Structure 1
Amino acid sequence: MRTGCAPVMSNTINTADARRLEDNFAVFQGVVCAWRNHPGLFASPRLERVLIELGRRSVPPGATSVARRVSRTPRHVLHVLSKARAMGGDSRFACRWMRADGARAHSVAITSQLGAAVPQTFLDSAAATGGEVHRLDDDSCDPIVRARRLRALAERADFVALHVYPDDVVPLLAFAHNDGLPPVALINHSDHTFWLGVQVSDLVVQLRRSSIPLGARRRHVNPQRLATLPIPLPVPHRTQSRAEAKARLGLDRDAVVLLSVGTEFKYAPAGGTGFLDLVLPVMTAHERAVLLTVGPRDTGAWAVARERTRGRVVPLGRQDDPAPLFEAADVYLDSFPFTSPTAALEAGAYGLPLVAYCPYAGDAQVLSPGAPGLDDSVCRLEDANQYVETVSRLIVNADTRQVMGERARQAIEHHHQGSGWLDRLSVVYSVAGEVRPRADGPSEDRFETDRLDVMIDRLYGVDADAVGRMIDTHVRPLPVAARRAILRRMLRVNRSFSFDLFLPTWLATRLSWRPPYWNVIRRSLARSAGERHRAQPCAST
């Protein structure tokens, strides 16, 4: 268990001057380090307190702000994202929400687009409802400037939905003052990691029930401020029959196609049974079975599995459009040891039977599949032998596949699509207008190490580039004077850095082409700067 982030957060929070960005740099460092290298915390009241104090001093309410504004039937919803992407669960969630809830105006505020183009789907989804898309960092990446812009947009909305990354500090700065704000709901896309936002959210919206106990116990959120909203899903429309889809993939008509979709790391063994340990006995026993996996690449253990099964284990790597695979599949197997709930929902919407290995208990159940449409439709097995037997039974029995798949499809349709999903969204709007914000939770951080903490540590491993990402995320947007102060400190501890941190943000983020020798020049300049600094007398630092 890594606890190196804990001293960074705890020692700095009490000493940093909330009025000076450069003095809070180590606080930002703690945020990035915490969510990418699990520290035994899922929320930090102390860290949020410093950021909120900075926001109170730097981001005042609007001139016309009065008491907190409440509406149980909002007319204008503001969706806040860290970055708008064509792929990604948070981006798809926001776009599907806007399209499904077209009776209201929906606008989008993006805190850190960093010069990237906003995907057309966001522009179209917002425009169709009469809303707009705002890039808060279009001409300035200063976090205070972005927070003030977000504050102004929020004060004109009736409801704010936060779809932000775990380490995005802009909402905490923007919403430090509660006066004049509508209800703010944080969408808990990353329920298994540390994140910011508890103390500025009126409602924390869970995407599955298994994360509710974790939110109450480890994030210290009053249960009255916890709600559940299913992931919105479009109704899939088949473009071909299952037999046609198999033929286009070069598979035999008689093949029974097992499909699994997830990010590659979700399949890596975490000190125990891995996904391949579960499925290889199935593949050995059933020559008709073919396993297609989206995410894992054809290397290492996956390449060995392909060879052992004479090509019937097919690791496809990342696929931008897995729809043809869902159309060809007969059975869906959830990723393990870490679930991929959105992919399981999409598979169930196609009418596929869903199978998952779920040996976890307590808070660690967030590592297993969970969603309103999955709770009663996934076949959950706690024993590896039972898993093999269940998948084998589905391979040989088409009628069982049909019954289980139809049950999953109906449950997902009821909770995640159409009027069923809109009914649950109306409840969220209503509840958000009733709860009292920011009056619960401890004042101190509480570190713990239980089964979930250990599993997350094993799954994610050490993120060696966390400090580099932290520098790019939190140093580059700062004013030049603040950047210089931080870089001087970095030189004192012999920390390397990119020389282009001195460039204006708009220039550094838009330099799409660099000559082959650019990195050599940049490293040489940085090294020379470090040598000059270390050659100076100690008194000068």
Structure 2
Amino acid sequence: MPRSQADQSDVLAQNRQHYELLVWMAQRYAAVGDVEKVLRTAMLAGNYALWLPVGLLSDLRLERIVVSAVRGTGAVTVDGDRRNGRVLHVLSEAHGIGGHTRLAARWIGRDERTADVVLTNQSVPVPGLLIDAARTSGGALHDLRGAGQGLLDRARALREHMDRADVVVLHVHAYDVVALAAANLPGPRPPVIYEQHADLTYWLGVAAADVLCELRPAVRSLDVDLRRVPAERIAVLPMPVDEMGSAGSEDLRRRLGIRPDAVVALTVSDDWKVTSTAGRGLHDLVDKVLHFSSRLTMVLVGVQPNPAWERLARKYPGRVHSVGRVPDPSPYFALADVYLESYPTYAGTTALEAALRGLPVVGLADAADDDPAHLFQRWSPGLAGRPAAPTPSRLALTVSRLAADADLRRRDGEEAAVSVRALHDNPGWRIQLEALYARARSARAADVGDLGESPIDERYALLLLRTFTASQASVDPRAVVAPLGDLYDSALEGDLNAALLRGRESSLQVRVAAGWADHPAWTARLLALAAAQPRLRVSMPFVAADDALGTASVTRLTELIAGVGRTTEDCGDICLESQAAHAPLSLNGELAFTDEALVGLGHMIDSPMWGDVPASAQEPVAVAG
């Protein structure tokens, strides 16, 4: 059931509270000079705001915290006169599926310069296309996470790689604080171009963007108004695309069971771009299109089978094929006769690839100009002159005409291919690339101190919430720590737990698992911790088969307390009870008999995060153990 506007606003407000808590943690770490923890917390905040909308598309306040922590009193200058013939491309993580890595590899392949690649946070095998692109150019690939370094060490290593290049291009993820920090370490460096492939969502990096490279001008208003990027620092470089090959389509047609005389419509997209956000999704359009044209068969790549597509497959037997994610979509482009752009959010790259293949490209743009959703339905530059259907019926009629007329499909596809090739393929694309590099060489270093504050836009945030978030409630920050990997250690976990529990006067209650009497060494360490920490309240169950007075439990506990040099009078807040009493600050779940549990508890008790928190983060927060 769709959430009401009030429910969505509540979730957004709770997301913002979680996010503000993370920013506050970064401030606390900055105050004590812990630069590594500043970077780790900023990384966590960036990933949180990417996936859980908070009302911001940038946070110049958080970026200033990072910049100040790594720069100190030093300054950054741009040296635009370097002519070593090398460009450094920086990615957070490269993947074999999806357009982001292909974009970087194509950029490298079309630039005559040597290209080195640095990966700041790679957690999966590096795809071969990126390795091959770097090596073919004469460059090398470097994996910073593979060296087991912390974020500050990675930033310093990245800066060393930057210093060997003429120009740096960031193709990084929204959370990438390593690139932001490296660009702001004191001293001269080459110009930095931030390639904005995630133009609809939050990202860190305004303070690293000497020039912001938009892939489509439709998002200019977001960059200027909501990210506070100065207009004079923005350039447009259409994304590089290549024509898909044509091998394997006949075998694929037979394997899918598509009729020889069928006209095939193709969509290649991520799931989230085709999911209904306001009562209508791509499956509704496909239903209407298939109803209008009995010759048409629909193939969806990247879109996972689900009940909506299964219902359509039953309604139109043999005419709906949802194949999920594939490593190489080129045979599907060769199979297709018409390309249907994803809805309600355009996929972008795949429509350009379809046009270069000579396919007619059709899409629905039904969001009003004053609705922020219209930014989700804008063509990339090479297709910007093509009209989009304003209603589902008009879309179905357009597709029906194309399905019925092979000559119309050919003419329409040829027109689209010429238009896309002029902007997105050689030699026109290379001319624009050289202009981008020249623009970057003449830029001053980005100065986040001049940009004011990032504004909150609740209307746009609610759109992102509907689009990206399936959860009916706000999500705990500990659910999005994956990019940190091993850097999310017990100390950071303890600090985050302390911040979430944010006790000021109350004790922190922990419940020990049954069987503590059988783990005397572990229990003794816990008792010593409790005696030294007045903030800690330890709730312990009675031992098994004890009498009504708890004689065995009291005796065993008294012995263990004496073993750590304490008495029942000075041992701290230790309670034997059948179940833990309700406490305002409780660590959910029972404490396990492991070293890691005690170390984590010690970090939490000693955390600097027990102090006051900002008013925006003081509402109650549900905490899981």
Instruction: Give the TM bin, normalised by the shorter chain.
Output: 0.7 to 0.9
2:322 corresponding residue in structure 1: 315
- Distance (whole Å) between structure 2 residues aligned to residue 248 and residue 301 of structure 1: 23
The verdict on how the C-alpha distance between 1:453 and 1:490 changes in structure 2, with shifts beyond 3 A counting, is closer
Q: How does 1:479-498 map onto structure 2 within 5 Å?
A: 482-483=491-492, 486=495, 489=498
- Distance (whole Å) between structure 2 residues aligned to residue 158 and residue 53 of structure 1: 25
Greater shift in the superposed pair: 147-156 or 357-366: 357-366
1:4 aligns with 2:11: no
1:408 Cα deviation from its structure 2 partner = 0.9
Amino acid at match of 1:88: G
1:172 aligns with 2:180: yes
- Distance (whole Å) between structure 1 residues aligned to residue 382 and residue 605 of structure 2: 65
Cα distance per residue 1:164-196 (max 9 Å; x no partner): 110111012112246311110111010011000
- Distance (whole Å) between structure 2 residues aligned to residue 410 and residue 157 of structure 1: 35
SS in 1 for 2:189: coil
- Distance (whole Å) between structure 2 residues aligned to residue 280 and residue 95 of structure 1: 37
Match of residue 222, structure 2, among 208, 214, 217: 214
SS in 2 for 1:97: helix
Contact 2:360 2:416 in 1 (8 A): yes
Give RMSD over aligned pairs: 3.2
2:6 corresponding residue in structure 1: none
Max Rg structure? 2
The verdict on how the C-alpha distance between 1:6 and 1:454 changes in structure 2, with shifts beyond 3 A counting, is closer
Match of residue 156, structure 1, among 138, 161, 164: 164
Contact 1:36 1:466 in 2 (8 A): no
1:188 corresponding residue in structure 2: 196
Contact 2:39 2:177 in 1 (8 A): no
Amino acid at match of 1:295: G
1:520 corresponding residue in structure 2: none
Contact 1:332 1:347 in 2 (8 A): yes
1:271 Cα deviation from its structure 2 partner = 1.8
SS in 2 for 1:220: coil
- Distance (whole Å) between structure 2 residues aligned to residue 423 and residue 392 of structure 1: 39
Match of residue 133, structure 1, among 131, 136, 141: 141
TM-score, structure 2 normalization: 0.73
1:254 corresponding residue in structure 2: 261
1:70 Cα deviation from its structure 2 partner = 0.2
1:54 corresponding residue in structure 2: 69
- Distance (whole Å) between structure 1 residues aligned to residue 105 and residue 64 of structure 2: 32
Contact 2:155 2:179 in 1 (8 A): yes
Cα distance per residue 1:376-411 (max 9 Å; x no partner): 24x401222211221121121222211111111111
Cα distance per residue 1:287-345 (max 9 Å; x no partner): 21111111233321110011011231221222222222211211110111111111111
Match of residue 422, structure 1, among 405, 414, 430: 430
Amino acid at match of 2:363: A
- Distance (whole Å) between structure 1 residues aligned to residue 606 and residue 177 of structure 2: 33
1:353 corresponding residue in structure 2: 360
Match of residue 432, structure 1, among 428, 436, 440: 440
Amino acid at match of 1:373: G
Contact 2:61 2:453 in 1 (8 A): yes
SS in 1 for 2:264: strand
1:262 Cα deviation from its structure 2 partner = 0.6
Contact 1:55 1:172 in 2 (8 A): no
1:276 corresponding residue in structure 2: 283
Match of residue 17, structure 1, among 15, 21, 29: 29
The verdict on how the C-alpha distance between 1:272 and 1:485 changes in structure 2, with shifts beyond 3 A counting, is closer
1:444 corresponding residue in structure 2: 453
Cα distance per residue 1:429-451 (max 9 Å; x no partner): 0111123332476332311123x
1:488 Cα deviation from its structure 2 partner = 6.8
Cα distance per residue 1:500-531 (max 9 Å; x no partner): xxxxxxxxxxxxxxxxxxxxxxx999744698
- Distance (whole Å) between structure 2 residues aligned to residue 431 and residue 540 of structure 1: 50
Contact 1:141 1:477 in 2 (8 A): no
**Identity over aligned pairs, percent:** 29
Contact 1:491 1:533 in 2 (8 A): no
Greater shift in the superposed pair: 85-94 or 469-478: 469-478
Aligned length: 503
Contact 1:33 1:466 in 2 (8 A): no
Amino acid at match of 2:454: D
Contact 1:140 1:477 in 2 (8 A): no
1:83 corresponding residue in structure 2: 93
Match of residue 345, structure 2, among 332, 338, 348: 338
- Distance (whole Å) between structure 2 residues aligned to residue 33 and residue 350 of structure 1: 38
Match of residue 107, structure 1, among 116, 131, 140: 116
- Distance (whole Å) between structure 1 residues aligned to residue 221 and residue 83 of structure 2: 28
Structure 2 segments unaligned to the other structure (5+ residues): 1-8, 503-507, 511-587, 608-625
Cα distance per residue 1:339-369 (max 9 Å; x no partner): 1111111111111111111122255333114
1:285 corresponding residue in structure 2: 292
SS in 1 for 2:272: helix
1:510 corresponding residue in structure 2: none
Contact 1:80 1:162 in 2 (8 A): yes
Q: How does 1:356-375 map onto structure 2 within 5 Å?
A: 356-360=363-367, 361-362=369-370, 363-375=372-384
Greater shift in the superposed pair: 212-221 or 18-27: 18-27
Amino acid at match of 1:352: L
Cα distance per residue 1:61-90 (max 9 Å; x no partner): 9xxxx9521048771100001112222322
SS in 2 for 1:190: coil
Contact 1:334 1:355 in 2 (8 A): yes
The verdict on how the C-alpha distance between 1:473 and 1:295 changes in structure 2, with shifts beyond 3 A counting, is closer
